[in-house]
Amino acid sequence: MNIKSICCIGAGYVGGPTMSVIAQKNPHIKVTVVDVNADRIAAWNSEDLSQLPIFEPGLDKVVAEARGRNLFFSTEVDRAIDAAEMIFISVNTPTKTYGAGKGMAADLQYVELCARQIAKVSTSNKIVVEKSTLPVKTAEAIKDILDNTGNGIHFEILSNPEFLAEGTAIQDLETPDRVLIGGESTASGQKAIEVLKTIYAAWVPEDQIITTNLWSSELSKLTANAFLAQRVSSINALTELCEKTGANINEVANAIGTDSRIGPKFLKASVGFGGSCFQKDILNLVYICKSLGLNEAADYWEQVIIMNNHQRERFADQIVKALYGTVADKKITFFGWAFKKDTNDTRESAAIYIADKLIDEHANIQVYDPKVSALQMQSDLNYLNSRSESDNDSYLSSEKDPYKAAEGAHALAIITEWDEFQNYDWKKIYDSMSKPACVFDGRNLLNKSELEAIGFSYQGIGQ
């Protein structure tokens, strides 16, 4: 059976790019991406492709090709659900901020709402695909809701977690390491797997499409993120030791990463990982382990988060220490606010935590980021802390010109590894800063000896 129409609920960082590529590669399938956020949908529909709600290299070209042909963005959720043969659930699954499991478990209210809505409005059989990252066994709950509140029609549930990373989403979608599809072992479950497989097979070699049972698929997504984050925390756990001993973390990472069993990727020391998923997914994994009485496994994975929190705090402490123990009324410039380069996403960015800690010490933070708005920075900080919004406003500002942002600063902190920082006129920046001009390179992006030759006091991570 070949599918002719798809609906995706959730037009966010995953739903938008993923469906754009599916539509681009399958021009015969009508793909409608729906969202309750009308502003987001309007931005997806904007004529000016620089106004898409997500900055992702290459996304504009894909949208330009498919939008209006077989790719549509809409707020008409019910209509799109009923018209589709296959429905992807790609809504947010943040960490719970209330009730049982607060601060750890995944908040599944949006996923449950989707299931109820699908059940309510569907008038024909559907394949429902979990695209959101979900705790293992969620498919059971979704199926229960669909079967018990539906109109007696047949729903098949698949798990098809997404492995794209922001900043490289289009590349990751176009040439994925693998596509994972989990389904039930029943005949109809296997048939549904085949249907979804056909959609990906339009551009992904079949031997890279892995099929498993539902629970393996759900759990593999959580644990893949845990493994990746663990590598970042592992390398970051060595940075302090390098600083104390004269070893250099870049050299150590290179030396260990050339062992093909270890591999070179995800060994870049940093101010700490950010993003909407690593922390949330590990916390969720820890919560699941604890719920099953697996306390040692829970403690093991929690340590990845503890290390990450420590890395962010340590970075802020280093700045205060180097500026003679006080940053009160001093200007500290951040280059970068996004959680990594090539994205405008700031969720859980180390920048927010570091700024918060420095503002507690009454530092004035000025930020330059090529893709993040001042409004977004303020709202990130307001969300994190209990300071009044006007206090946050008075301590945090943003500047659109990096050279102006650096003027008069006592210290400059590289938070995001935007490529453009490497091409700046660092002599000009040095001349305009308060002395001693300190650079704290949270990404080991800049060349230590070149900066020191200019006169900077340079401190990288783990060097």
What is the set of active-site residues? Answer: 277
Q: Count CB-CB contacts under 10 A for residue 431.
A: 14
User: Which residues in 11-30 contact ligand NAD (CB under 6 A)?
Assistant: 11-15
Instruction: Give the Cα separation of 460 and 214 in Å (integer).
Output: 44
Instruction: Give the Cα separation of 272 and 366 in Å (integer).
Output: 20
Q: Toward ligand UGA, which CB reaches closer, 166 or 361?
A: 166
Cα within 13 Å of Cα(42), Cβ side? 3
DSSP for 87-146 reads EEE----PBP-SSTTTTTSB--HHHHHHHHHHHHH--S-EEEEE-S---TTHHHHHHHHH
Binds 228: which of ligand UGA, ligand NAD, none (CB < 5-8 Å by kind): ligand UGA
Q: At what angle do helices 350-360 and 374-384 cross, to 10 degrees?
A: 70
Instruction: Give the Cα separation of 435 and 338 in Å (integer).
Output: 27
Instruction: Give the Cα separation of 280 and 286 in Å (integer).
Output: 10
Instruction: Give the Cα separation of 249 and 232 in Å (integer).
Output: 12
Q: Does the CA dihedral 413-417-421-423 come out positive or negative? A: positive
| 132 lies in the site for ligand NAD, by CB under 6 A | yes
Distances (CA, A) of 250 to 82, 202, 268, 444: 53, 40, 8, 8
Q: What angle do CA 268, 162, 196 make, to 5 degrees?
A: 150
Smallest distance, ligand UGA to C-beta of residue 338, A? 9
- Of the candidate spans 110-118, 366-374, 379-387, 390-398, the one that interacts with ligand NAD by CB under 6 A turns out to be 110-118
| 93 lies in the site for ligand NAD, by CB under 6 A | yes
Distances (CA, A) of 27 to 20, 70, 128, 357, 388: 11, 6, 21, 50, 50
Among 6, 7, 8, 9, binds ligand NAD (CB under 6 A): 9
User: Which residues in 39-78 contact ligand NAD (CB under 6 A)?
Assistant: 40, 77
- Of the candidate spans 158-166, 327-335, 400-408, 425-433, the one that interacts with ligand NAD by CB under 6 A turns out to be 158-166
Smallest distance, ligand UGA to C-beta of residue 217, A? 14
| 300 lies in the site for ligand NAD, by CB under 6 A | no
Q: Toward ligand NAD, which CB reaches closer, 11 or 316?
A: 11
Smallest distance, ligand NAD to C-beta of residue 93, A? 4
Smallest distance, ligand NAD to C-beta of residue 76, A? 11
Q: Count CB-CB contacts under 10 A for residue 276.
A: 22
Report the residue closest to ligand NAD, judged by CB: 12
Binds 252: which of ligand UGA, ligand NAD, none (CB < 5-8 Å by kind): none
| 128 lies in the site for ligand NAD, by CB under 6 A | no
Within 8 A by CB and 6+ apart from 42, the residues are none
Binds 3: which of ligand NAD, ligand UGA, none (CB < 5-8 Å by kind): none
| 238 lies in the site for ligand NAD, by CB under 6 A | no
Q: Count CB-CB contacts under 10 A for residue 207.
A: 7
| 91 lies in the site for ligand NAD, by CB under 6 A | yes
Q: Toward ligand NAD, which CB reaches closer, 248 or 308?
A: 308
DSSP for 3-20 reads --EEEEE--STTHHHHHH
Binds 232: which of ligand NAD, ligand UGA, none (CB < 5-8 Å by kind): ligand UGA
| 166 lies in the site for ligand NAD, by CB under 6 A | yes
User: Which residues in 244-283 contact ligand NAD (CB under 6 A)?
Assistant: 276-277
**Binding positions for ligand UGA, rule: CB under 6 A:** 133, 162-166, 225, 228, 232, 266-268, 270, 273-275, 277-278, 339-340
| 402 lies in the site for ligand NAD, by CB under 6 A | no
The binding site for ligand NAD (CB under 6 A) comprises 9-15, 34-37, 40, 77, 90-93, 110, 113-114, 132-133, 162, 164, 166, 276-277
